[in-house]
Amino acid sequence: MCRQRVFINTAYDAWKPIHKICSGRVRQPCDKYLYTFNDLTPKHVLELFDKLVLPILNYGSETWGFGQANQIERIHLQFCKRLLCVKISTQNDFIYGELGRTTLHTKRLFNIIKYWFRIISMPDRKYVKCIYSMMLNDMHDMPNKVNWSFLVRNLLNELGFGHVWLEQGVGDQQQFMHVFRQRLHDNCVQNWTSRLNESTRALFYRGIATFDYQPYLDIATVRKFRIGMTKLRVSSHRLYVETGRWHKPTSIPFDMRRCQVCNVLEDEYHFLISCPIYSELRRIYIHKYYYGRPSMYKTIELLSSTNKKTIRHLALYITKAFEQRTEYIFAVVKHR
């Protein structure tokens, strides 16, 4: 019993090296299976990840899951970025928003409370219940001692469920877990929104951001065109508004990242609606309503559309315009 008690109290420290081992071993099944399904929609590939890989990454998390486990979260983000075919340096919050994915830490916290309900409903003779009772006694005798029960109490208090801890249970556990899951999700979205509002890289993405799986990922069925639209939305492109940040030794000032033709800021709005280089493509693939009298409001409306025809045409425009821009820049450099 003493060994089990020590294990529960120090489980996270014991699992730290396991994080690195698991994160390394998970890459192989990801490469072998998940990345080979090019004909599946991103939603189906994410479901496969949740069913085949996530249980491995979160194995035993009922005891160690309070920690952030950055190595494991890195595997999750690398998978999502590879699924969307964007740069590894793409801001993480953009990826969470495009796919409507919460962090794996959030999922582990749910598992912990679910396991806690299992413990408190066990008969007193069970070893795990005895160890839990010992930890409660330790909390009473040494209020500042951090153990698993201490962290469970803090989690419930932080999310506004302190009364559940005081009563050591609820009447309807299933209903409570539903509410608890939603509270975790809302808390995650709130933190995500706060980070976006503070980010200087999210000036454009804030206007189109919704924490939900984006419809265009399934509507744009041609992978090449879907990737082009994703890259524009999450700023994983080579427009000067983005590449100006990469300039060494210091980045180019924001207002100086200008289009080589128009001498105005080359951002996503300029690329989609106003740059004359793509006027012919724009006339073919985008309705005149959006570029006839252009505005940022109409640009956001265009990128937020759920109309299948509009989305497919927009994805075509973005992909072809990126290709045309590359050819134009290559020609300019060649003639210098």
Q: Report the C-alpha gap between 143 and 145 in whole angstroms.
A: 6
Q: Report the C-alpha gap between 236 and 76 in whole angstroms.
A: 18
pLDDT computed for residue 190 by the predictor: 95
Q: Report the C-alpha gap between 269 and 52 in whole angstroms.
A: 40
pLDDT at 10 over 50: no
Query: Token digits for 23?
Result: 């994160």
Burial of 319 (0-12, 13-18, 19+ CB in 10 A): buried
pLDDT computed for residue 12 by the predictor: 42
Q: Could you read off the pLDDT of 288-335 as tens digits, one per residue?
A: 999 999 999 999 999 999 999 999 999 999 999 999 999 888 777 666
Q: Could you read off the pLDDT of 47-79 as tens digits, one per residue?
A: 989 998 899 888 888 989 898 888 899 999 999
Q: Could you read off the pLDDT of 74-126 as tens digits, one per residue?
A: 999 999 999 999 999 999 999 999 999 999 999 999 999 999 999 999 998 88
pLDDT computed for residue 249 by the predictor: 87
Q: Report the C-alpha gap between 280 and 258 in whole angstroms.
A: 21
3-class DSSP assignment, residue 146: coil
pLDDT computed for residue 314 by the predictor: 96
Three-state secondary structure readout of 265-286:
ECCHHHHHHHCHHHHHHHHHHC
Q: Could you read off the pLDDT of 128-179 as tens digits, one per residue?
A: 999 999 999 988 888 888 889 999 999 999 999 999 999 998 888 899 999 9
CB 233 within 8 A of CB 226: no
